[in-house]
Amino acid sequence: MVNVTYGSSGELIAYDADGVEIVYNLGDIGFIIMAMALVWVMVPGVGFFYSGLLRRKNALSMIYTSLASIAVVSFQWFFWGYSLAFSDTASPYIGDLKHFGLKGVLEQPSIGSSRIPALLFCIYQCMFAIITAALMAGAIAERGRLGPLLVFIFIWTTIVYDPLACWTWNSNGWSFLLGGYDFAGGTPVHISSGTAALAISIYLGKRRGYGTERLAYKPQNTTYVILGTVLLWFGWFGFNGGSALSANLRAVQACIVTNLAAAVGGITWMLWDYRIEKKWSAVGFCSGAISGLVAITPASGYVGSPAAIAFGVLGGTACNFATQLKFLLGYDDALDIFATHGIGGIVGNLLTGLFAQKSVAGFDGITEIAGGWIDHHYIQLGYQLADSVAGFAYSFVLTTVILWIMHYIPGLRLRTTEEAEILGIDDAEMGEFAYDYVGLEQEIGHSIRGRSDSDVGKRSHSSVDEHEHHQQETHPTDEKA
């Protein structure tokens, strides 16, 4: 039985093994439960954001990958993920199986904060693991198989995310002990997912028609892009604000700088795009807002409001120009995940070393830090750089290793066939569509009325190619492929 009761003022009281009283404020517990739900909402937000940027024939698969991430990572976190990341007997790199199957994860104070019980900290951190997997999984866009992706997410979360979370947030982790500042996931969430997306993009290779007009399409649903941004921006208050693990002034400050950096990032990216197109791009604004949110994430509990302007401007600028890296280096990152999350996370980590303030960190009345350059603690930038480089290298190398091991296991190869890529992942892998008007007639280019399913299944590449050419001529605004 859980050994809890209530005090005279309604607070929750637990007792440790020695009978010592532990008092939990129900306001703190309620706040983190709300923050947990906000982070969950971000996951379908990622799905809609990614879906809107792709072609119609691949729109549903991206929404599906976000839900698949919820399912797979939730089980992985219960199975051993939480223990590998947050067991209090962890090594500097990874935890043990002390809490396998959530054994012993109950009313005792969490390793993250004594103000909330381990059970609550566990489910809150589960959402971080889920959103990281969802961000990374978008790299399979338009050319990845959905079945092997489930296996990949489970393995990747175990081998890549859990160790990064351990060394960053576990009090035994090497980066934590070194003195690195990462309030809400610059390295475990953004650098890891962005770098993994880079590794996946390189492994999968280029999409059919890369470098030609075939892929010069516009986002199929800008409304989805805006909807995804709304859900992400909304949920980010729980992502960053909730990382204070208590309803206090530090949480409020984290929400203020989060909102400000997103706003400035959106305007910055949109202005950079305006200089070229002379158009006020909604997609550009949304991309910039996400970049600002990514950049401020590691710093949100450490910096003042004026610094958030710098995070928005520099984050939006760096991520905007980083979208050109794929052309310089020759990889096909369909959704610019590395540019937004990988580069944005690195920029945010480094700026944290410059702008972190011990006074802001102390808004919770507990935390004591030396600060960053603004407090004349110059070595902090070195700590932030070390953490960023380690996270980048670890995620890239291990992701690549996992991909190639799966490549040689029958049935687990992540790259789909050319036939499936032409037809679209939604039809080839799911047999379903995001819209009722996306069907075989549009994709094949001639009527299939009166033909049997077997006849349709025997269509040749040439007939599909002819239709794609026809589509470019007759429906240029819908889809150029």
For residue 4, give the H/E element and its range: strand 4-6
Report the DSSP beta bridge partners of residue 330.
Answer: none
For residue 384, give the H/E element and its range: helix 380-407
Residue whose pair of structure tokens reads 């590691």 in the numeric block: 298
Separation between Cα atoms, residue 327 and residue 190, nearest integer Å: 22
For residue 52, CA distances in Å to 7, 153, 283 come to 51, 22, 10
Count CB neighbours of 75 within 10 A.
11
| Residue 47 identity | G
Residue whose pair of structure tokens reads 């995804």 in the numeric block: 228
For residue 389, give the H/E element and its range: helix 380-407
Separation between Cα atoms, residue 108 and residue 105, nearest integer Å: 8
Q: Which positions ≥6 away from 361 have C-beta within 8 Å?
A: 250, 301, 302, 367, 368, 369, 371
Separation between Cα atoms, residue 106 and residue 3, nearest integer Å: 10
Report the DSSP beta bridge partners of residue 117.
Answer: 109
Separation between Cα atoms, residue 429 and residue 320, nearest integer Å: 32
Return the DSSP state at 245.
Answer: S
Separation between Cα atoms, residue 331 and residue 228, nearest integer Å: 25
Q: Which positions ≥6 away from 208 have C-beta within 8 Å?
A: 143, 214, 418, 421, 422
pLDDT in tens, the chain (481 residues): 788 999 988 899 999 888 899 999 999 999 999 999 999 999 999 999 999 999 999 999 999 999 999 999 999 999 999 999 999 999 999 999 999 999 999 999 999 999 999 999 999 999 999 999 999 999 999 999 999 999 999 999 999 999 999 999 999 999 999 999 999 999 999 999 999 999 999 999 999 888 787 777 889 999 999 999 999 999 999 999 999 999 999 999 999 999 999 999 999 999 999 999 899 999 999 999 999 999 999 999 999 999 999 999 999 999 999 999 999 999 999 999 999 999 999 999 999 999 999 999 999 999 999 999 999 999 999 999 999 999 999 999 999 999 999 999 999 999 999 999 989 999 999 989 888 765 445 445 544 444 444 444 444 444 344 444 444 433 443 433 3
Q: In what order do the strands lie in the sheet with 21-24?
A: 4-6, 12-15, 21-24
Please, what are the domains in the chain?
A: 12-407 (1.10.3430.10)
- Comparing CA positions, the residue from 476, 411, 366, 414 lying closest to residue 28 is 366
Q: Write phi, then psi, for 286 (nearest 5 degrees).
A: -65, -45
CA atoms within 13 Å, Cβ hemisphere of 377: 18
Q: Are 401 and 158 in contact (CB under 8 A)?
A: no
pTM over 0.85: yes
Q: Which positions ≥6 away from 345 have C-beta within 8 Å?
A: 186, 187, 189, 190, 191, 194, 294, 295, 297, 298, 388, 391
